[in-house]
Amino acid sequence: MNAKQDYLVGELWILAWNASVQRARLYRGGIEPSPEDSSRPFRGAVIDYLESRIIPKYREDRVTEEQHYKHIDDLVAYANSVGEKVLGQLGYKYGVAQKLLNLMLKYDWCLGMITEPPHCPVDRIVIDKTRYKGTSWTKIVHRSEYQAIIEDIKRLAGTQSLAMWELSIFERR
């Protein structure tokens, strides 16, 4: 990447991180996410892990859906291993992990840096289109909960990919 791309990717990481932790009550009591807080090393470690271990796999070749689920599983496990001092009782939740990874993949895909990702970011806007309306993505802690929502999104998307379907329904507040 060149300096311009590096800058944009850095800014997109900030946006993706903030979108993934908003209203998630991810941290222990007393820890507020800000540039000066104790969550900063955790945030850096998680982003470094994604940049070095997960995202490159999407640049190399098309990732299967099962591989994608495994990447989210691996992200949850890694984040829990490095975040024990800052994370709340439920740890790094599956819903938060999928939002961070899927949103960054969406950005990279829209910039032409990767092929189309297998899933879209699952958030309130997306969930409210499904039969799981009212479910909070920030409270998803198990892969099975996320998978059920993905299966319903597939039903709604019909012949469209999930990524293209989400782009078509995306609405900025």
State the pLDDT at residue 31.
63
Digit-coded pLDDT (tens) for 129-145: 999 999 999 999 999 99
Digit-coded pLDDT (tens) for 83-125: 999 999 999 999 999 999 999 999 999 999 999 999 999 999 9
**What are the DSSP calls for the chain, one per residue?**
--HHHHHHHHHHHHHHHHHHHTT---BPTT---STTSTTHHHHHHHHHHIIIIIHHHHHHSPPPHHHHHHHHHHHHHHHHHH-TTTB-TT-S-HHHHHHHHHHHHHHHHHTTSSPPPSS----HHHHTTSTTTT--GGG--SHHHHHHHHHHHHHHHTTS-HHHHHHHH----
Of the chain, the percentage scoring pLDDT greater than 90 comes to: 82
Digit-coded pLDDT (tens) for 29-45: 866 555 556 688 999 99
Of the chain, the percentage scoring pLDDT greater than 70 comes to: 92
Q: Tell me the pTM.
A: 0.93
Query: How much is the average pLDDT of 36-57?
Result: 91
